[in-house]
Chain A
């Protein structure tokens, strides 16, 4: 008898004679490991990964968070009101990132910049890797490590030199660490100067505070809430919004965006792994059945300790090695597929999803634990149970009801899990498919968009900006194959800027607000339903006009062309605009959302105050349309722009088609990931049903032979197997659908989007899988010779 390594090697040689079994077992576990490690890489990178700030555990973000949105925002006026209570050690505030024109030694680029006060980075615990931080003086900048490498050639001598930001000379004071990232990538960190008593109540700032040691988040959160309640009237905070004021740990904020979805995927992946584990147990049992007599003989001949189990352990090891190799490789691919589908704001660091040693250790540990449980639970346990009979009664192995029932229960559970995942996945895919076919309401073909920033230093007034865009549009129209060109802050498939407008009853309603130059709406592909588009006559001195969409007419009860639009913002004068045109609705907020009321105003007639606000927070888009529009290169656009404005950059060129497709990215991501998990689960359920029935056929050959001897035809024997597997699958399917129904009626539904109409296809698919899984065991059962009834199996 071979023991130790020779015994294990012998077991490997024996198992190599069954390549089909080996492949199925390794593939089964490998798929489980792949799903689990792929999802774990997401969890590790997006949830477990701590923010790259020293001592970040004492940092909170405070302000209001919108229902369903995890990140808190504050307004300058609220930041002032909260002040410096005793609970906090330091605080800081920063605007949302904006685009700026950065001229680095004649190379003009559209960079991402974030304006922040001098306390923001220190409160986060961030200090420059080289040079110094923001001092509070104007016209200075700290650059990101990426910008420093990309634009300043990683030259430390750049510190202290000047670059031009939005036309203003700016001194580079330092370079941040490559680890720094807070929600998004930023190139330049610029000083922010809030007035001592800021009157800005717009929730567009990120306020951070470092709590004193020992102070809990709850205490400071209560203080923030109390300030909001005390100043509710002045801050125009309604009672419905008050509960959303408070503070949240930075860790939770950073991971909060990704956490619900990622943990849902991880749970599903663990369910897939559980199915794989259950299957492995049954598969190893098949081998245990084949080996049981030999094992009993080994013990009868005096084998002690673990020696009788060496073949079981050896075979499990071989399966494990192959499965881990296949699973980790596939898991890496799965993680990269996931990573390609994730929104950038989910990333905690600059690194994308890292499939590093954490995932390797997790995968190997998970595989080992699963193997150990499968060997102990599925193989050794059963084998020891029949040893007595093997040795003393030469009885029939593995006929115990308990073992069979346990396998059936496993099958039911894994079928239920697979059905739940399938139902969820079909629902997600159906939703995505339906939304893909929802008309967006505008023509996405033959149009291209460029991003541009007309900064206030170079173009201080609306008139300057309008002149810039009119000239630039003219140059673009001179290009071959361009029929329309225009500028707007509003794209029909993305972007969001709302302003209040007055309803007939005097109340206000926030509608989408778009500034547009003549030709812009035609370039966007919006369909004109009545009236006219903006033209060159819609300038400052002329009568103020507006264009609206159908949703506006319905919501505001407007009569359309000739009727009036009443702005209700403090940023605009209380004067009406005459509607000159009505355009068709677009699915501005995505195909799953209804069209929103939208008001377009000619850029030349925009109020300075509202335009400054738009310019502060939003990029501007130049849109071109025509047969050759999608082929218009960035170089050509940049060259033509620089003839008009040498210090303005054009960036982020993409076709309108891509822009519209981007709206579907989240739905597509969910569909792909859920489909992968559901396919894994279905495949594994198939292996589970197959392996369980195979065990049954192998271990009850004599019973099947007796059936045959008593007159069961081969078809009768096959039907016994088929009927049993289908019955198990039906029970599992019913259980799975029951759980799906419960989930549908639970709060989870807001995240899962389960559609009960998919129940029938999910059930049919599962039953089809059960039939497929039965084919080989049924064929084996049909071939059992009834002679075994006399001679024994």
Chain B
């Protein structure tokens, strides 16, 4: 039995992001230090425009930081080119988007298989097997030949989760996964993420809905591009019980 702490999947030190429009500089993120370890469920919360999505984009290598250093699985990725970043994304990162982003003219199975088609050396048989497993894990194996338009919003988001899982990523990044869903479907999706977390997946989720923050081990609060607070589930629960938090304990979690 090892007493070593779990390995860090994502490490950010001194990360900053500046958007420039002519002479105007907009500092979206400033001096972010952050670490997400294997098996963790981290939620990033904060008001609109605080930099949550930008932080997730940097973590997912969709964008490059203006300052600081970013490491994924211990490797520095800050200076990687587009091609290399795409390969890292494909291998180690799974995405779940707010608006699902399923390709309309592909079937459910083809959508889930999509990231695997960009992976060198993976045969069709293995891709199909993984696709079937991923869809089974979200309870949609029976829908694999349907098109996204034939599914409800919640089901589409579950397909998106299956797509993110199919590649067996080191971390699953979810950007407002319940943002386009009604309460019931939102709860179903959050239940799915919770189950995945319990099964050992590392998840980082951006949400502005703090009701769902309770499902995370750790909640990072951003304000004006800076981390202002970092709480554990225990602390949050305590705050909630004492009526200190914004989320009331009596509200249903799922």
Contact = CB atoms under 8 A, between A and B. Distances in A.
Interface string A766-793: 0000000000000000000111011110
Nearest to B105: A401
Contact of B101 (A401, A404, A706): A706
B167 A711 contact: yes
Contacts of B83: 713-715
Given A709-B89, A712-B86, A789 B118 contact: no
Interface in B96-130: 97-99, 101, 103-105, 114-115, 118-119
Interface string A38-81: 00000000000000000000000000000000000000000000
Nearest to B119: A711
A54 to B, nearest CB: 65
B45 to A, nearest CB: 17
A703 B105 CA distance: 10
B239 interface: no
B95 A399 contact: no
A709 B114 contact: no
B105 A789 contact: no
B87 A709 contact: no
B173 to A, nearest CB: 10
Contacts of B86: 708, 711-714, 716, 786
Interface string B197-235: 000000000000000000000000000000000000000
A702 interface: yes
Given A786-B62, A790-B175, A711 B91 contact: yes
Given A711-B89, A711-B90, A711-B91, A790 B103 contact: no
B115 A710 contact: yes
Interface residues of B, number: 28
Given A401-B105, A716-B118, A790 B89 contact: no
B195 interface: no
Contact of B95 (A703, A709, A714): A709
Interface secondary structure of A, over-half rule: helix
B82 interface: yes
Interface stretch (B1-9, B31-39, B53-61, B186-194): B53-61
B158 interface: no
B103 A787 contact: no
A716 B89 CA distance: 14
Give the one of A399, A708, A710 with max B CB within 10 A.
A710
B60 A710 contact: no
A713 B82 contact: yes
A707 interface: yes
A792 B97 CA distance: 11
Contacts of B101: 702-703, 706, 709, 789
A234 to B, nearest CB: 78
Nearest to A400: B104
Nearest to B106: A703
B114 A710 contact: yes
Given A401-B104, A404-B105, A711-B89, A789 B119 contact: no
B63 interface: yes
Contacts of A716: 86, 118
A790 B118 contact: no
Contacts of A399: 104
Contacts of A703: 101, 103-104
Contact of A713 (B103, B104, B118): B118
Nearest to A792: B99
Contacts of B53: 790-791
A720 to B, nearest CB: 10
A789 B104 contact: no
Nearest to A711: B90
Contacts of A711: 86-87, 89-91, 115, 118-119, 167
A676 to B, nearest CB: 39
A707 B101 CA distance: 10
B90 A710 contact: yes
A708 B98 CA distance: 16
B91 A709 contact: no
Interface string B145-181: 0000000000000000001000100000001000000
Contacts of A790: 53, 56-57, 62, 97-98, 175
Interface of B: 53, 56-57, 60, 62-63, 82-83, 86-87, 89-91, 95, 97-99, 101, 103-105, 114-115, 118-119, 163, 167, 175
The 8 closest A-B pairs by CB, nearest first: A711-B90, A710-B115, A713-B86, A706-B101, A711-B118, A711-B89, A712-B118, A787-B62
Given A703-B103, A703-B104, A713-B83, 16 more contacts: A401-B105, A707-B103, A708-B86, A709-B60, A710-B89, A711-B89, A711-B90, A711-B115, A711-B118, A711-B119, A716-B118, A786-B62, A789-B97, A790-B53, A790-B98, A790-B175
